Structure 1
């Protein structure tokens, strides 16, 4: 596992600034719990800290996770809203596990049991963490499964192969800021409304980056703002997305795309009927992967049309305010 993590670091080429470190103002005394593998904190595992937190708390529960590799399967339950997990740095604070489809062996829905970190509690926040599925290229193996509403991930890394990030929940909204996501096939997938801003999305194989399953009733699916699409050196044929369900919605706004992105851009998953219902859009794509002729059923947005994809418009709703802003 440690070897695979090291290789992941090398392949990502992550800049020190992206990894993030604990802010000087983050005094451990300001946290409700401290997790440390060496026994110097309140708990030695992340799950124990979450299980020890009050259900439906009146105030936010803040948990500091000391540096270390935590090989555990973690779930933030629906009765644990308002939980914050903060690592000492994304490079040094790693949650990892190796479940995958065949290992779970629970039938056709085994994918949904493979997560390393599952977040069901609303108003969750995470900063400076790595979440890894260490199973390797063995099929579906989820690192992050999130179906909570108003979930925020800042300065985090999500490492895996197929199905790395499952962003789910009908009507749920999630925000990823300054994060790294890597994988092979459909490694950002699901039916939530999710904004990825200033993120690096890294393909490790010729395949598909996204597989949205946006419900027909939702106006937005996955929106990438000012992101960068990169790839391993031997990757040369990647699609921006394919529709897991027929009303998939995915947009790339001001995204720099490497040469691994195919000129066609999008795939119909061998379902021509989906071409009439999906919403695949781009605005001001940059780099070699933006060149060439996209499929005719994708949309090249005008500047005015692209304004619809602002973070506030995609994620906001009356009464919630700017919930995606990190405030403690």
Structure 2
């Protein structure tokens, strides 16, 4: 097994390193084209190129400049995974989220506990479950995303506190399921969550988001567009980790689990004048704004317009048709 995987590391590395010269010889292009990607298979049964996901990632050369699709066969993969900053253009592709599961149990440091850490740019994840099974009591991140131009499709992220550390960069989440209890979508990225299901398992007064924007001139923030927001008990839509925290819910269903006041100030009233917490044409029992805190906003059409398209994350440039599965 070790000899086979060692051979595959060399083979994958050679294929990627030789690709630019092959393209030049054929007047081709380089960089992120899935139609001319290197494809490798991870399979715990031994019928793939690698047994472990991290081994397949390690086989990608530093400074990679083309699409590498790592196809993960069904199974429960018990490993902590890092996609390092110097390995862009990697795709982790499962079969479906219900049977392709990456799991670990860790807690403590927000940067040390993640089951999966994406530090590279131009990453795609699809049809995966990523979970941290530590439970209640400490920070236990399932996924940290700190690369730029990162997208996830049909994935599940499961933990309790700080489930999704949406840390930095521009990110897109489509048709994903995100579950947690305390500040379980947090960080300072510029992210669009479209058609996602966000579910709070907090038993009392948990916050769904803790966005970390630090300046009124920063272009970061979270937009939930056409999403479904549910929970088992009373939850806030968010509270301000950063002084200028920014979160918008638009055209989304808000269940009765959303507390009438909607937002919480993290015991710091000075943030009332700085945060940007907006709602636009949401519906459901939790969307009634009659008892909302007066420092949140009911957005007008013109105020909401910048948040209602992929342009809010510059996505018209990097969410190209060929990148969408």
Q: CA deviation at 1:246?
A: 0.8
Q: Is the 8 A contact 1:220 1:314 kept in 2?
A: no
What is aligned with 1:92?
99
Secondary structure, aligned partner of 1:314:
helix
Compare CA radii of gyration and give the structure with the larger one: 2
1:56 is aligned to 63
Which whole-Å CA distance do the structure 1 matches of 2:62 and 2:324 have between them? 21
Partner of 1:159: 158
Q: Distance in 2 between matches of 1:310 and 1:270?
A: 31
Alignment of 1:1-328 (within 5 A): 32-101=39-108, 110-169=109-168, 172-205=169-202, 206=204, 207-216=206-215, 217-232=217-232, 235=233, 237-291=234-288, 292-316=290-314, 320-323=317-320, 326-327=323-324
TM-score for both structures, normalised by structure 1: 0.84
Deviations 1:118-149 (A, max 9, x none): 00010000110000001111321000000110
1:297-325 deviation per Cα after TM superposition (whole angstroms, max 9, x unaligned) = 1110012221110233311178x354487
Cα 1:324/1:211, change in 2 over 3 Å: farther
> Runs of 5+ in structure 1 lacking a partner?
1-28, 102-109
Distance 1:268 1:256 in 2: 23
* Structure 1 Cα separation of the partners of residues 276 and 265 of structure 2: 11
SS at match of 1:32: strand
Q: How many equivalent residue pairs?
A: 287
The offset of 1:31, in angstroms, is: 5.3
Q: CA deviation at 1:251?
A: 0.4
Deviation sequence 1:68-113 (CA, Å, 0-9, x none)? 0001000000011000010011000000000011xxxxxxxx2220
Change (3 A) 1:324 1:269: farther
8 Å CA contact retained: 2:103, 2:132 = yes
Deviation at 1:231, TM superposition (A): 1.4
Q: In structure 1, what is the Cα distance between the partners aligned to 2:285 and 2:85?
A: 43
The separation in 2 between residues aligned to 1:325 and 1:59, in whole angstroms, is 14
Aligned pair in 2 of structure 1 residues 310, 267: CA closer, same or farther (>3 Å)?
same
Task: List runs of 5+ in structure 2 lacking aligned partners.
Answer: 1-35
**Pair 327,196 (structure 1): closer, same or farther in 2 beyond 3 Å:** closer
Aligned equivalents of 2:286 and 2:270: distance in 1?
26
Q: Name the CA shift for 1:118/1:321 in 2 (closer, same or farther; >3 Å).
A: closer
Q: The residue matched to 2:54 in structure 1 has which SS?
A: helix
Query: RMSD of the TM alignment (CA)?
Result: 1.8
Alpha-carbon distance change, 323 to 244 in structure 1, aligned in 2, over 3 angstroms: farther
